[in-house]
Amino acid sequence: MEKFADEAIIEVSSGSGGNGCAAFRREKYVPRGGPSGGDGGRGGDVVFTVRRNLRTLAHLRYKFSFRAENGRDGGNAGRYGHNGANVIIPLPPGSLIRDVETGSLIRDFSGNQENFIFLKGGNGGWGNIHFKSSINQAPRKALPGKPGQTVRLKVELQIMADIGLVGFPNAGKSSLLNCLTNARSKTAAYPFTTKIPNLGVLTAGERDIIIADIPGLIEGASRGAGLGFYFLKHILRTSALAFLIDLSDDNYLEAFDILLNELKSFSEELADKHRLIVGTKTDLPETSGRLAELARKYPEQEVLGISVFSGEGINKLSNAFLRLTEKHEKSNNINSIDNANNVDNTDIDDDGLSDETLNEIIDEETEGDDQ
């Protein structure tokens, strides 16, 4: 867990503008050369950028102060100060930026991954070259640069995945991830082998599906038991959830209800996601007939049985993951179309009148003719 960083508090500062210069041209054979003070340079900006090769916020663990360069002061002979360099802060996809004091969301990098200029540097001050006039031919006035801004931010990471694996410890989540993808998660015969979220990419058909494996939940996680809810935020953005039930456990018929209740305690949105129930370890003798009992108890849920050891049901599960992902994308597209149709697009004629206004005018004229 020490190597995985999904939260960080940083302090960012934009650069201050350089000061304007008050100077005069002093050159041989040039009497009354006039003002020649240049402007100060602009301060650097604070820019956030998304880097796809980053997976955690570990690079923000030890370096938590980012300052853009200040603009240089203006000089004589009309020389303008150099602009300060921007400070660029790289973040992994799925990062959130919040204000430390209020907790309000500033930017979500899950959808829009373009560079984000958070703080602009201060403007440079004017030199006295700007203040000359016919009545003030030797101005001694120059403006200071505008100061930069300093803000403390909380950066959070929410892993972007299509399918989230949920289950008790030793339910077979890491083994399934290793079987479906090229991930190499640690597996062992003791609880809480997985201490940090792991990602893998499943190739199903002509597309890739990202699968997230989070540490196991136990009953009472909402009250801090086990690892609690610390990593559940990483499956908030998934398309669907797969509840892995260990069929060799005597508590297999109550496991789904316990897991679902724990998710509801964390987020109703998470509990309402598309889901399926996956019974694991079907190759063991003691699991005979238990998959059918699980399916009878939850007739409204899709229930599949798999064995990572024998490969039973793996292809069927891959197709189910693909179907759930496409179903989620289709529902999102439908919602986007509905939102667009709900926008009031009242037709306006060439004279600038809406159809409703024209109908009212026509009705009034018709009533007048009848009278």
Q: Is residue 181 part of a domain?
A: yes
d(C-alpha 58, C-alpha 68), whole Å: 21
State residue 17's pLDDT score: 95
- Angstrom CA distances, 28 to 33, 66, 138, stand at 10, 47, 18
Q: Is residue 353 part of a domain?
A: no
Q: What is the pTM of this model?
A: 0.68
Q: Based on the domain organization, do 279 and 325 belong to the same domain?
A: yes
Q: Based on the domain organization, do 37 and 11 belong to the same domain?
A: yes
Phi (first) and psi of residue 322, to 5 degrees: -65, -40
d(C-alpha 307, C-alpha 284), whole Å: 9
Q: Based on the domain organization, do 17 and 150 belong to the same domain?
A: yes
Number of domains in the chain: 2
Q: Among 252, 19, 15, which residue's Cα sits nearest to residue 142?
A: 19
Q: Based on the domain organization, do 149 and 290 belong to the same domain?
A: no
Q: Based on the domain organization, do 55 and 191 belong to the same domain?
A: no
Domain range enclosing 101 = 1-158
Listed in sequence order, the residues at least 6 apart from 107 whose beta carbon sits closer than 8 Å to its beta carbon are 48, 96, 97, 116, 118
d(C-alpha 141, C-alpha 39), whole Å: 12
Low-confidence spans in the chain with pLDDT less than 70: 1-4, 112, 185-196, 218-231, 332-371
State residue 348's pLDDT score: 42
- Angstrom CA distances, 262 to 99, 147, 256, 344, 364, stand at 29, 49, 10, 41, 64
Q: Based on the domain organization, do 301 and 167 belong to the same domain?
A: yes
Q: Among positive and negative, which fits the CA dihedral 50, 55, 57, 58?
A: negative
DSSP 324-340: HHHHHHHHHHHHHHHHH
Q: Is residue 344 part of a domain?
A: no
Strand partners, 304: 278
Q: Is residue 201 part of a domain?
A: yes
Q: Based on the domain organization, do 233 and 104 belong to the same domain?
A: no
The tokens for 92 are: 């992994």
d(C-alpha 217, C-alpha 225), whole Å: 9
Point out the domain boundary residue: 158, 192, 226. 158
> Strands (DSSP E) along 121-266, which ranges?
150-157, 163-167, 198-204, 207-213, 240-246
Pairing of strands 105-108, 95-99: antiparallel
Q: Is residue 349 part of a domain?
A: no
Q: Based on the domain organization, do 176 and 152 belong to the same domain?
A: no
Point out the domain boundary residue: 158, 180, 211. 158
Q: Is residue 180 part of a domain?
A: yes
Write down the residue that tokens 């200040």 correspond to: 70
The tokens for 286 are: 């003691």
The answer to whether 21 touches 144, Cβ cutoff 8 Å, is no
* H-only helix segments in 121-251: 173-180
State residue 238's pLDDT score: 83
Q: Based on the domain organization, do 104 and 176 belong to the same domain?
A: no
Listed in sequence order, the residues at least 6 apart from 37 whose beta carbon sits closer than 8 Å to its beta carbon are 20, 21, 22, 23, 24, 74, 75, 76, 78, 127, 128, 129, 142
d(C-alpha 333, C-alpha 191), whole Å: 40
State residue 29's pLDDT score: 82
Q: Based on the domain organization, do 231 and 171 belong to the same domain?
A: yes
Write down the residue that tokens 């041209």 correspond to: 25
CATH number of the domain to which 277 belongs: 3.40.50.300
Q: Based on the domain organization, do 167 and 40 belong to the same domain?
A: no
Q: Is residue 358 part of a domain?
A: no
Q: Based on the domain organization, do 276 and 154 belong to the same domain?
A: no
State residue 98's pLDDT score: 93
State residue 343's pLDDT score: 47
Phi (first) and psi of residue 241, to 5 degrees: -120, 145
Point out the domain boundary residue: 139, 158, 177. 158
Q: Is residue 371 part of a domain?
A: no
State residue 371's pLDDT score: 44
CATH number of the domain to which 51 belongs: 2.70.210.12
CB atoms within 10 A of CB 181: 20
